[in-house]
């Protein structure tokens, strides 16, 4: 019988996967296409990516549903297919997952703003996330990962939306920028405030992903560890995006430079570690070796 993921975190460091979008683009995803559409149009390629991450040593893969909420999908004319695309996303990951491995239902930001900066209410956001969560839960996700959140109010609305339709554990990662005064989201939310509010909401784990490179992530994890007793998630970018002469997007932090900070991220307190933009199965394979060495 497979342990619940939160029980596994108490025993050892859990390895997450790396970027999905980077891998889809490498396989020809056209610019401007909703990645979630490939869950039904090119399911074999999506499963192939999940399979490569599992083969690299990931304990958990995230579904191809980062932009799968109704508000974001509506921009591609797919808002009415929210449940279908998320159900397919979770089923693909579940089908390829080896015994004893896990599927996290990825739920990224809406890309919209709440009032007064935008036109949406917290109830609008909660409803959008609820529909997405329903599909991911029905498709077999083990946990729901509300990720890359730049507004704490949106993150909390997402948690409430998820809770209205599912009893699965909810993990939340905010995306912070590094400043001399500490780490802040785009909307000015601090690590301390974010951790406290999310813990009060009863989430299973909190953390940071995207924006920061692996060196910067060390300090962010330390700040999180000082702010909460919850398990901490860390998924750093491979540096900053760089546009090459051929127009392709690369990242400023190479594999060796990226992974040399992984032991510090773990020692700083991260219990679930993976990669974000610019990382791929090779990064996860290298991280698996490092984490195994740290365990021993």
For residue range 72-96, what is the model confidence (pLDDT) as tens digits?
999 999 999 999 999 999 999 999 9
CA distance 254 to 283: 9
**Predicted pLDDT of residue 294:** 72
**Per-residue pLDDT reduced to its tens digit, 46-74:** 999 999 999 999 999 999 999 999 999 99
CB 251, CB 238: distance < 8 Å: yes
CA distance 43 to 65: 13
pLDDT(126) > 90: yes
pLDDT(249) > 80: no
Query: Regarding beta strands 270-275 and 14-15, do their DSSP bridges make them parallel or antiparallel, or are they unpaired?
Result: parallel
The CA-based diameter of the chain, rounded to the nearest angstrom, is: 52
Q: What average pLDDT does the segment 234-251 reach?
A: 81
Q: In a 3-state reduction of DSSP, which class is residue 285?
A: helix
**Predicted pLDDT of residue 172:** 98
Cβ-based burial of 120 (10 A; exposed 0-12, middle 13-18, buried ≥19):
middle
Q: Phi and psi at residue 20, in whole multiples of 5°?
A: -95, -45
CA neighbor of 44 nearest in space, from 68, 28, 67: 28
Please, which pLDDT band fits residue 293 given cuts at 50, 70 and 90?
A: confident
**Predicted pLDDT of residue 295:** 66
**Predicted pLDDT of residue 111:** 93
**Predicted pLDDT of residue 204:** 98
- Chain-wide mean pLDDT for the chain? 95
Q: How far is CA 3 from the centre of its chain?
A: 21
CB 253, CB 281: distance < 8 Å: no
CB 2, CB 60: distance < 8 Å: no
Cβ-based burial of 273 (10 A; exposed 0-12, middle 13-18, buried ≥19):
buried
CA distance 267 to 284: 18
**Per-residue pLDDT reduced to its tens digit, 158-193:** 999 999 999 999 999 999 999 999 999 999 999 999
**Predicted pLDDT of residue 201:** 96
Pair of tokens at residue 155: 């993150």
What's the predicted TM-score (pTM) here? Answer: 0.95
**Predicted pLDDT of residue 250:** 76
Cα R_g (the chain), whole angstroms: 17
Which domains are assigned to the chain?
Answer: 5-295 (3.20.20.330)
Please, which pLDDT band fits residue 22 given cuts at 50, 70 and 90?
A: confident
């Amino acid at each position: 019988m497979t342990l619940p993921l939160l029980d596994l975190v108490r025993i050892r460091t859990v390895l997450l996967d790396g970027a999905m979008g980077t891998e889809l683009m490498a396989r020809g995803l056209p610019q401007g296409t909703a990645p979630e559409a490939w869950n039904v149009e090119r399911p074999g390629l999506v499963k192939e990516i999940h399979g490569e991450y599992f083969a690299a040593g990931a304990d958990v893969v995230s579904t191809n549903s980062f932009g799968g909420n109704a508000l974001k999908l509506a921009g591609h004319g797919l808002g009415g297919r929210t449940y279908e695309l998320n159900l397919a996303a979770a089923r693909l990951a579940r089908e390829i997952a080896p015994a004893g491995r896990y599927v996290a239902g990825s739920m990224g930001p809406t890309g919209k703003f709440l009032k007064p900066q935008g036109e949406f209410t917290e109830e609008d956001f909660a409803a959008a996330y609820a529909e997405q969560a329903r599909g991911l839960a029905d498709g077999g996700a083990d946990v729901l990962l509300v990720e890359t959140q730049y507004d704490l109010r949106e993150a909390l609305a997402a948690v409430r939306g998820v809770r209205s339709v599912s009893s699965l554990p909810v993990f939340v990662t905010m995306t912070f920028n590094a400043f001399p005064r500490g780490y802040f989201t785009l909307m000015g939310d601090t690590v301390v405030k974010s951790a406290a509010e999310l813990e009060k909401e009863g989430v299973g784990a909190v953390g940071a992903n995207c924006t920061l490179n692996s060196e910067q992530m060390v300090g962010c994890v330390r700040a999180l560890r000082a702010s909460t007793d919850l398990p901490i998630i860390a998924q750093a970018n491979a540096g900053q995006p760089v546009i090459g002469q051929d127009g392709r997007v690369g990242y400023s932090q190479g594999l060796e430079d990226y992974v040399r900070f992984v032991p510090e991220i773990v020692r700083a307190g991260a219990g679930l570690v993976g990669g974000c933009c610019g990382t791929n199965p090779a990064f996860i394979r290298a991280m698996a070796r490092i984490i195994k060495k740290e365990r021993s």
